Chains A and B, each alone.
Chain A
């Protein structure tokens, strides 16, 4: 009997999984905007707007904006990471505190300048989410992919926490 209950359990688990897959696919199929079964999650696709325009800025272009003081750099990582080290002059606006922090940060952002958002890591999506938010607010916005790492690697000016 003891072995039996396990095999019953496993058979039932498989039945439940098959049922879920079936119901969810049918439901998804009849949604007004079905989610594609296989999505495009590579960096390029994620940073392309619905209009087909890429928001990615190259390191060199970001550097030239920085040197001409012609863009506002916004750090999308959390406050600890920002305090530990960030691009010189960058404003901290953690994606997770967006609602609380945005109104405080807004006066520091010149609306005539483009915004460059960044976080850290090739697949970090905080800067991307933040960029879409700025775009909806009417800003011209770019994403510097893997920003913190490439900035350090390029020996560009940073502000780091005093040890």
Chain B
């Protein structure tokens, strides 16, 4: 049994290796996407607040605090994912956020409200939300579900590899 630098135990088993490689790829992709998504919003919280307002889901009182905290949460989650810090907690939050984001998008597309996505750029008019935005969110969710599955549900069934993972 070999130990990787962030403490994962890998059995020699090939299936485990594949699982582990996809695990790393998922973490890196989601990490980069979350960091990239946070950047513009951290710089322009006023514009992001307008984007949040336009979704017309949150109560007025919660809009600014969301616009202040959410981008930093995304940045921290992105960094933690890439460096493998607090992985179970990070995986829970990433899944939670992606589900919320996608639901909000679908809800507004269904309502026919013309929202600015506010996903990667806070600038008004930059990216109107459409079916492709939803498709992108769903493909990101595949990675996050994968991480959730192997971090929580299937954790004890695989041979050795994830026994000592991240705790």
Assess whether B63 is in contact with A20, with CB atoms less than 8 Å apart: no
Contacts of A52 in B (CB 8 A): none
Given the known inter-chain contacts A37-B65, A41-B63, A95-B125, please indicate yes or no for A13 contacting B92, CB distance below 8 A.
Answer: yes
- Whether A39 and B76, one on each chain, are in contact in the complex, defined by CB atoms closer than 8 angstroms, is no
**A4-45 interface code vs B (CB 8 A; 1 in, 0 out):** 111011111111110111011101100100011111111000
> Shortest beta-carbon distance, A8 to chain B, in Å?
5
CB distance from B12 to the nearest CB of A (A): 23
When the two chains form their complex, are residues B45 and A125 in contact, meaning their CB atoms are under 8 A apart? no
Complex: chain B residue closest to A76, CB-CB? B114
In the assembled complex, the CB of B155 is this many whole angstroms from the nearest CB of chain A, namely 6
A24 to B50, CA, bound (A): 18
Interface of A is mostly: helix
Residue B35 CB within 8 A of the other chain: no
Interface size on B, residues (CB 8 A): 41
Choose among A9, A95, A99, A125 the residue that contacts B92 (Cβ–Cβ < 8 A). Answer: A9
Chain B neighbourhood of A86, CB < 8 A: none
In the complex, whether B139 has a CB less than 8 A from a CB of chain A is no
Chain B residues, CB < 8 A from A24: 68-69, 71-73
List residues of chain B with CB within 8 A of the CB of A15.
86, 89
Chain A residues packing against B (C-beta within 8 Å): 1-2, 4-6, 8-17, 19-21, 23-25, 27-28, 31, 35-42, 77-78, 94-96, 98-99, 121, 123-126, 129
Extra A-B contacts (17), CB below 8 Å, given A5-B151, A27-B42: A8-B89, A10-B92, A13-B96, A16-B86, A17-B93, A24-B68, A28-B45, A35-B45, A35-B49, A41-B60, A41-B63, A95-B114, A96-B128, A121-B113, A124-B113, A125-B50, A125-B54
